[in-house]
Amino acid sequence: MEKDIYTSITELTAVYETLNKCLKSDPCTTNAYQVDRQQAYRDSYAALCAVPVEQVALRLIAEEIGDRVLVRLRDLIRENIHICETRQEVFSQVDFEALCRLQEEYLFAGKRTLLVNDRKLIEEYPYPTEREREQLLRENRSELNELDNERNRYRQENVAWICKDYYAAICETSRSFAAVFDSYFPVEKKIITSSPTELYVRPAEAKSILPDEIFRSRIFDKLRELESRLIRSGDLDENLHWQAKHKNGKPDIKRLVTFLAGLLDNGYFLPNRDAAIKCFFEERYRIPIGQNFERKRREPLTQDYRTIFYDLPF
């Protein structure tokens, strides 16, 4: 039975949430724990490959759902690419062949050593009859053969995934996902407001700020809850474009900065991230904030946000 579109997106989002957390904390050491990580990457990669992303995009269009449901997923895909690119040198330190040998030795070397030692003892022990010795030697040889066969089966079934560079494979898959979504749902680079001079253009060379670069742990989801309320109040539209305006029709930047002052006052952000916070919300809400976010201008608004946004559960 075909999954509904929301289930597919939710499951893929969950895969990326777990995967990004694992990639960020991966020490890339050659030990038994790294084999466990390889297995987790193998399963995550298989889950990614099982999702027909282009069909997801086409169904969103066909069913007139729109790309709003993709916001969280697209953020996680961009974060995944960012992690893979920034940690590329660390990931390249993993010696996959050595990792495979280590795991194989861990599983089989000890057992084989015991059997070889047993064989030596059997050969040297003064049994009453040679018939006893031969019987024990046959049993020992049979156990060794069985162990070697098991080792060969293990190699056939596991070498491929233990030695595979999932870091590169996952990054390439994420890039392809991003390309598909961007082709069907292009990210706007500029917003023209009521005045032709009031234009936000994201510089082509500018680096996107990722949520985990400015938000404290698990706080970004709280922001998204607030944004859903701002959409209902009309401050944001469905595409997260800032809509609040003055009576003269110009964008109400002060109201936006007041909202950001409330986030700051409630500890949403990591310390000393002012420039990154400004850039993040300029791109996210497609509106220039400029000098309005300077500390001396926003601090007087800290007392106002409780009144202006009295219904938001900061």
Rounded-to-integer distance, Cα 93 and Cα 139, Å: 44
Same domain, 32 and 179: yes
Counting the structural domains of the chain, the total is: 3
Same domain, 144 and 37: no
- Nearest one of 59, 85, 70 to 4, comparing CA atoms: 59
Same domain, 142 and 266: no
Same domain, 65 and 177: yes
| Range of the structural domain that residue 251 is part of | 190-308
- Token pair, residue 169, equals 């494979």
* Amino acid 100: pLDDT: 84
- Nearest one of 27, 308, 49 to 176, comparing CA atoms: 49
Same domain, 54 and 139: no
Q: What is the mean pLDDT of each run of 10 residues along the chain (314 residues)?
A: 76 93 90 87 94 90 85 92 90 87 78 86 89 90 86 78 92 94 75 42 60 85 89 89 89 94 92 90 90 90 88 89
Q: Are 209 and 279 in contact (CB under 8 A)?
A: yes
pTM: 0.53
